[in-house]
């Protein structure tokens, strides 16, 4: 009887069901004396029907129970046609019909009764009151009891223990149970009950033991996790994880993943011989194959959702690749199976997204000869990608307004489209273009394209995979950005946000720029769409959730300097301002203002947008050469870069910031914080207060705030939260370094989005931008060089997110730039130690990049300064060029004040460094030059002139020696006669006519050329003993003394109202040629410890320097302090991201000027730095070259 049972099409059934119970009705042939006559089902009344049920239950006669309900089924069918508004089922519920249904559900001895109760109860699911009664009756548990034998179903109150089906009847019961369970999963009433451990165990047992039930069981799991509410889905996933459902599903996926790309073919001869049986066998194979395909789709969907919600499961990617290999062909007549391919692509996408190493996930381990390599996996993915692209292109052409309006003219494409217009799993079934099946297939094709595109983005972000994808022909990287379905846009933007926040993906600047341009295009579309209106409240072309996701993505992008420059070029601040006009809701507008301010703040702290002497390569290419020349020569009084030309516009932007910074306490705290920090960055300490006031009122409070909110403390706050501690435990720098090594080994990386729960990444970067600016000034170097501040900065480099590590490394590098010599009281513009034979172009002041010409010689053994190897001997044809344009201590090159990965050194060397305050800006007449030189009178007599400094050529003056020593004699006219001049400057007698006096003369003269190169000061020095001597030339314009102090050892000579020319181009020789055309004929000889200060040193400071016989009091205390704090190891950790690496290289290059650190730098990261010499990015290549040069 049960095979001919009944049901009706429920008026509010949530899903169509394939169970036979939903397809039956008809007449009864029961011998029961029913109160209505056959064929007159309209006479049925619940008053007559309910006693029949009561009698069947009293007699424990399931056959009578079936036959009574058979009449109801007939009435339901009649009522649906004759009176759709009939409420017969409700009347049955009011008559307590659930009492008799529960009798069948809870029957302890007869599975037939339980089956009858289940089939009848199922017909009432569309009624809320019935569902409530069935929840009380624990309907899902009743389904699990259907498969048990009578002895397994006790009368105890405890939950029954599910067992595996033992025979064909129990298999039939199992299929019924899971079919109904899948239907129950459509209703929120039953989902919590399905998530119970006992029910999950039951479903998992059926999944393992009844292959025919795989489709329905996996469909149930899929419905459980795909709830409308994300919180409910997350809670359900937790239940599935506790029940180990993920592992069981993964095992099932692996078992059935060997599916062929089409149903198993039955030989034609066998079909002809078998007749109807052969046809039946073919249909059976098709049905089995389709169910397996649907099962793979359902399992993939559940596993992908579990991964999405951060549930740890193990997925065998080799099984996924094999499925793709079997179904990814487009050149044959295989079914498209787009739904399954989409869900498996989604699964692989999430597997790779949560994995730390995509290449490892795609590496298949197999004994097959053609499988087992990354190349195989990538080839399969690209082949499937081409199939998806082909379908996408085809659908774009047939869409309204497509390129091909008539398919009759398209030849092969027409046949391919006809194949597409068939059932997803059966080519023999055609579907119309206006059918739901066609719409679903198109949706799946676009989703497949999206997930494959996003998956391949994840692969492209991996350096080990990127070049292989290029080899196998991966193209059309942009297609996902052309899709506009809501779900697809969310997936696409979340992928981009994840990638731009990933240190691994940041290694490809081209990929980041591609994402940046695509997202800017989306922002422009969202803002300036056809529905755009200038009035507030204009229609948005994107849904709100997509707008927030897009802004989140742009916010993360704005952390990278290359994208900051791109955003500047596209004037993103103005675009965001236009977007704000579309919001009327104050809460949404406030949220938009926060996101916009995050982006604007990061764009504003780009060095070329913030530092007036720095220009980007983009601006350099904008025909700036003539403007620069006019400004330098005085033809134009307008500087090349002014506060008005910085971006965003300082006037309007600062006014907006002040407005947000003064918001009431009830306003948004983030707006006030970011605005206040950005205003401090723009002020740069120019408040009119003293240095101590700025430090107390601005610098110290911001430092304390940053120290508490830095992303370097993320793990401390997270650990305190997880262990419910009121205060986080501070970690030492050594502990942070150990954690960093552990994360590096595990390939774990901290991201901006992850840290926002406990820290303030955007605000921290803004604060560090202020620190890096103030670190260039001597007034603030003292505070920023304190032990605790240095530990915090190194901790940020070590444990912070990559952009914060970049800004912290920049601060450290700027502290070492133009290092302040506190012991002698001056700012070093140039410090050439010459502390080794190869240390020719190492500027320990970290301001210049000197260039060696020729091959000067190292000091002879035992002859070096400081009882060491200090000293370089300049010989004929050798010299050192300090700067291509020469340097002046009041116009210090800003070349090494910043480093952006895509720029060149040319961008930072266009204008001299701009000091913060007028009183700290050096005067052209205030500078000091000191050096040690080795004196050999005989050598000087033989050679004659020895040039120490040469000026640069300008439009007004030629290049000439400005500081030199010469062999002198007394001319017959009584004047000094310098051998290097060739004639007497008084009587103009030529040198050859007066050569005789030089043979016996022991006079030597130091010569200095004045500032306008119209006169020179000749200082005759006393007789010097052979050996090392100290030279100091201190020019000043102070109230105590106006002129120049010339000190040779402890012998002073005062030159009142005389100032040497403040121009240093070449040292150690004269680079020009003599009348014979020979260059470099005035080598100075052996010198060491050459320094140029931007301040006037006192006589006491000079005497202290002269008295030094060791390097203990040298001005490299900061390097020594950083060396003791493992700065080399910490900076070397952050060479993975180019944006961060370039600033870390700048800091390492400065540390390499300290000799004890050179070998350590090479041992820690020398090989990695040498590889960077071949970097495609000019600034990385240049900074790496500097490290190698200083290190060697």
Q: Give the least confident one: 266-270, 433-437, 1064-1068.
A: 266-270
Q: Give the least confident one: 435-444, 540-549, 1132-1141.
A: 540-549
Q: What is the mean pLDDT of residues 495-510?
A: 92
φ/ψ (deg, to 5) at 881: -95, 120
Tokens of 353: 């997204």
Sheet strands (E) in 1051-1128: 1051-1056, 1066-1067, 1085-1093
Q: What is the mean pLDDT of residues 486-505?
A: 92
Confidence of residue 35 (pLDDT cuts 50, 70, 90): very low
pLDDT at residue 465, rounded to an integer:
84
> Per residue in 170-210, pLDDT tens?
889 999 999 999 999 999 999 999 999 999 999 999 988 88
pTM: 0.85
pLDDT at residue 1132, rounded to an integer:
97
Q: Which of 116, 37, 131, 107 is nearest to 75 (CA)?
A: 37
Q: What is the crossing angle of helices 1138-1151 and 1178-1191, to 10°?
A: 20
pLDDT at residue 532, rounded to an integer:
39
Torsion of CA 425, 430, 436, 438, to 10 degrees: 80
> Per residue in 612-639, pLDDT tens?
888 766 555 544 445 555 545 555 555 5
User: Token match 């499937």: residue?
Assistant: 384
Report the distance separating Cα 1088 and Cα 1091, nearest Å: 9
Report the distance separating Cα 135 and Cα 260, nearest Å: 42
Task: Please say if the pLDDT value at position 365 is more than 60.
Answer: no
Tokens of 212: 């025919």
Note the maximum CA span of the chain.
Answer: 156
Instruction: Among 196-205, 762-771, 856-865, name the most confident range.
Output: 762-771
Contacts of 178 (CB under 8 A, 6+ apart): 203, 206, 210, 213, 216, 217, 220
Report the distance separating Cα 927 and Cα 1033, nearest Å: 8
To which H or E segment does residue 398 belong?
Answer: helix 374-398
User: Token match 């659908």: residue?
Assistant: 395
- In this structure, are residues 1141 and 1181 in contact, taking their beta carbons and an 8 Å threshold? no
Report the distance separating Cα 1189 and Cα 1192, nearest Å: 5
> Per residue in 977-1006, pLDDT tens?
787 776 666 666 665 545 555 555 678 899
Q: Give the least confident one: 279-283, 487-491, 512-516.
A: 279-283
User: Token match 């916010």: residue?
Assistant: 555
Q: What is the mean pLDDT of residues 537-543?
A: 54
Tokens of 276: 């109807």
Please calculate the CA angle 1078-1079-1084 and round it to the nearest 5 degrees: 120
Report the distance separating Cα 1025 and Cα 9, nearest Å: 117
Q: What is the mean pLDDT of residues 133-160?
A: 72
Residue 77 neighbours by CB distance under 10 Å = 18
Burial class (CB in 10 A: 0-12, 13-18, 19+), 405: exposed
Contacts of 757 (CB under 8 A, 6+ apart): none
Three-class SS of 591-654? HHHHHHHHHHHHHHCCHHHHCCCCCCHHHHCCCCHHHHHHHHCCCCCCCCCCHHHCCCCHHHHH
Report the distance separating Cα 611 and Cα 593, nearest Å: 25
| b/e per residue 590-624 (b: at least 16 CB within 10 A) | ebbbbbbbbbbbbbbbbbbbbbbbbbbbebbeeee
Burial class (CB in 10 A: 0-12, 13-18, 19+), 704: exposed
Report the distance separating Cα 235 and Cα 188, nearest Å: 13
Task: Please say if the pLDDT value at position 682 is more than 50.
Answer: yes
Report the distance separating Cα 1130 and Cα 1120, nearest Å: 15
Please calculate the CA angle 642-644-649 and round it to the nearest 5 degrees: 135
Mean pLDDT of the chain, nearest integer: 83
> Per residue in 296-330, pLDDT tens?
999 999 999 888 888 888 888 888 988 998 888 76
Q: What is the DSSP letter of 887?
A: B
Tell how far CA 905 is from the center of its chain. 25
Report the distance separating Cα 877 and Cα 956, nearest Å: 27
- In this structure, are residues 603 and 567 in contact, taking their beta carbons and an 8 Å threshold? yes
> Per residue in 1136-1170, pLDDT tens?
999 999 999 999 999 999 999 999 999 999 999 99
Confidence of residue 266 (pLDDT cuts 50, 70, 90): very low
Contacts of 167 (CB under 8 A, 6+ apart): none
Residue 1178 neighbours by CB distance under 10 Å = 17
Confidence of residue 805 (pLDDT cuts 50, 70, 90): very high
pLDDT at residue 976, rounded to an integer:
74
Q: Give the least confident one: 224-233, 264-273, 514-523, 1181-1190.
A: 264-273
pLDDT at residue 64, rounded to an integer:
87
């Amino acid at each position: 009887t049960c095979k001919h049972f009944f049901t009706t099409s429920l008026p509010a059934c949530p899903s169509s069901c394939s169970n036979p119970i939903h397809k039956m009705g008809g007449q009864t042939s029961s011998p029961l004396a029913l109160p209505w006559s056959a064929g007159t089902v309209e006479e049925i009344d619940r008053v007559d029907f309910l006693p029949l049920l009561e009698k069947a239950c009293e007699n424990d006669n399931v056959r009578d129970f079936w036959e009574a309900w058979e009449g109801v089924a007939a009435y339901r069918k009649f009522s649906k046609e004759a009176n759709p508004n009939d409420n017969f089922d409700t009347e049955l519920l009011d008559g307590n019909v659930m009492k008799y249904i529960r009798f069948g559900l809870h029957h302890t001895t007869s599975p037939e009764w339980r089956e009858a109760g289940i089939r009848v109860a199922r017909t009432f699911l569309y009624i809320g009151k019935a569902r409530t009664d069935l929840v009380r009756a624990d309907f899902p548990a009743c389904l699990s009891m259907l498969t048990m034998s009578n002895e397994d179903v006790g009368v105890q109150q405890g939950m029954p223990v599910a067992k595996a089906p033992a025979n064909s009847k129990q298999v039939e019961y199992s299929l019924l149970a899971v079919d109904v369970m899948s239907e129950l999963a459509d209703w929120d009433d039953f989902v919590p009950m399905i998530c119970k451990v006992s029910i999950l165990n039951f479903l998992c047992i059926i999944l393992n033991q009844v292959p025919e039930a795989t489709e329905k069981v996996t469909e149930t799991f899929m419905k459980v996790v795909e709830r409308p509410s994300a919180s409910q889905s997350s809670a359900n996933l937790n239940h599935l994880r506790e029940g180990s459902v993920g592992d069981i599903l993964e095992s099932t996926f692996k078992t059935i993943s060997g599916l062929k790309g089409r149903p198993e073919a039955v030989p034609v001869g066998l079909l002809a011989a078998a007749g109807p049986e052969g046809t039946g066998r073919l249909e059976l194979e098709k049905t089995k194959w389709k169910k397996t395909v649907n099962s793979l789709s359902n399992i993939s969907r559940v596993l992908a959702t579990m991964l999405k919600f951060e549930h740890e499961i193990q997925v065998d990617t080799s099984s996924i690749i094999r499925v793709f290999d079997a179904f990814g062909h487009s050149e044959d007549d295989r079914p498209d199976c787009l739904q399954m391919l989409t869900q498996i692509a989604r699964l692989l996408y999430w597997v790779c997204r949560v994995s730390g190493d995509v290449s490892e996930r795609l590496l298949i381990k197999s004994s097959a000869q053609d499988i087992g390599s990354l190349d195989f996996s990538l080839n399969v993915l690209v082949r499937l990608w081409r199939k998806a692209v082909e379908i996408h292109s085809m659908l774009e052409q047939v869409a309204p307004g497509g390129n091909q309006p008539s398919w009759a003219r398209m030849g092969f494409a027409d046949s391919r489209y006809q194949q597409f217009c068939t059932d997803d799993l059966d080519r023999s079934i055609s579907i119309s273009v206006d059918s739901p099946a066609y719409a679903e297939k198109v949706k799946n094709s676009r989703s497949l394209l999206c997930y494959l595109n996003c998956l391949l983005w994840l692969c492209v972000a991996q350096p080990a995979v990127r070049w292989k994808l290029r080899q196998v022909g991966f193209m059309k990287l942009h297609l996902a950005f052309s899709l506009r379905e809501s779900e697809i846009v969310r997936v696409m933007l979340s992928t981009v946000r994840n990638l731009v926040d990933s240190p691994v993906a940041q290694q490809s600047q081209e990929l980041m720029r591609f994402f940046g341009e695509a997202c800017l295009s989306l922002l422009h579309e969202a803002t300036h769409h056809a529905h755009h209106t200038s009035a507030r409240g204009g229609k948005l072309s994107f849904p709100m959730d997509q707008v927030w996701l897009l802004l989140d993505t742009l916010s993360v992008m704005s952390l990278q300097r290359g994208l900051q420059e791109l955003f500047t070029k596209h004037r993103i601040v103005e675009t965001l301002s236009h977007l704000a006009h579309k919001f009327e809701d104050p809460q949404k507008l406030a949220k938009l203002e926060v996101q916009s301010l995050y982006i604007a703040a990061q764009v504003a702290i780009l060095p070329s947008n913030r530092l007036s002497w720095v220009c980007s390569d983009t601006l350099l290419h904008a025909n700036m050469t003539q403007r620069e020349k006019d400004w330098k020569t005085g033809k134009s009084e307008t500087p090349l870069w002014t506060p008005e030309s910085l971006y965003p516009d300082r006037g309007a932007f600062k006014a907006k910031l002040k407005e947000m910074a003064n918001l009431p306490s009830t306003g948004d705290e983030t707006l006030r914080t970011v605005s206040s920090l950005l205003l401090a960055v723009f002020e740069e300490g120019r408040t009119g207060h003293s240095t101590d006031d700025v430090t107390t009122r601005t610098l110290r409070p911001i430092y304390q705030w940053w120290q508490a909110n830095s992303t370097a403390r993320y793990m401390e706050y997270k650990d305190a939260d997880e262990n419910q501690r009121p205060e986080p435990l501070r970690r030492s720098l050594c502990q942070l370094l150990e954690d960093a090594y552990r994360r590096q080994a595990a390939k774990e990386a901290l991201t901006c989005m992850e840290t926002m729960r406990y820290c303030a990444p955007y605000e921290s970067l803004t604060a560090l931008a202020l620190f890096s600016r103030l670190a260039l000034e001597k007034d603030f170097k003292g505070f920023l060089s304190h032990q605790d501040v240095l530990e915090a900065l190194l901790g940020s480099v070590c444990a912070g997110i990559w952009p914060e590590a970049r800004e912290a490394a920049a601060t450290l590098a700027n502290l070492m730039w133009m290092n302040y010599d506190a012991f002698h009281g001056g700012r070093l513009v140039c410090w050439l130690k010459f502390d080794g034979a190869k240390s020719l172009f190492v500027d320990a002041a970290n301001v210049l990049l000197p260039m060696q010409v020729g091959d000067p010689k190292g000091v002879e053994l035992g002859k070096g300064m400081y009882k060491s190897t200090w000293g370089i001997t300049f010989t004929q044809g050798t010299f050192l060029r300090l700067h291509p344009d020469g340097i002046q201590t009041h116009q210090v090159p800003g070349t090494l004040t910043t480093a952006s990965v895509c720029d060149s050194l040319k961008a930072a060397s266009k204008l001299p460094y701009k000091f913060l305050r007028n009183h700290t800006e050096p005067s052209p007449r205030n500078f000091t030059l000191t050096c040690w030189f080795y004196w050999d009178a005989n050598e000087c007599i033989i050679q004659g002139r020895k040039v120490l400094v040469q000026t640069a050529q300008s439009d007004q003056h030629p290049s000439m020696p400005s500081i030199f020593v010469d062999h002198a004699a007394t001319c017959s006219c009584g004047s000094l006669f310098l051998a290097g001049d060739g004639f007497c400057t008084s009587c103009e007698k030529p040198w050859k006519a007066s050569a005789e006096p030089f043979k016996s003369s022991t006079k030597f003269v130091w010569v200095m050329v004045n500032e306008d190169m119209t006169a020179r000061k000749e200082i005759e020095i006393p007789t010097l003993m052979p050996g090392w001597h100290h030279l100091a030339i201190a020019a000043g314009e102070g109230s105590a003394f106006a002129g120049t102090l010339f000190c040779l050892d402890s012998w002073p000579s005062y030159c009142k109202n005389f100032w040497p020319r403040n121009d240093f181009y070449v040292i150690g020789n004269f680079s020009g040629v003599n009348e014979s055309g020979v260059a470099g004929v005035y080598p100075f000889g052996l010198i060491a410890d050459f320094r140029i200060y931007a301040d006037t040193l006192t006589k006491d400071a000079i005497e202290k320097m002269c008295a030094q016989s060791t390097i203990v009091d040298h001005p490299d205390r900061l390097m020594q302090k950083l060396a003791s704090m493992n700065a080399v190891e910490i900076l070397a950790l952050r060479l993975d991201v180019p944006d961060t690496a370039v600033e870390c290289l700048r800091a390492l290059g400065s540390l390499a000027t300290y000799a004890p650190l050179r070998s350590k730098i090479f041992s820690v990261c020398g090989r990695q730095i040498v590889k960077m010499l071949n970097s495609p990015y000019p600034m990385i290549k240049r900074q790496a070259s500097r490290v190698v040069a200083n290190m060697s």
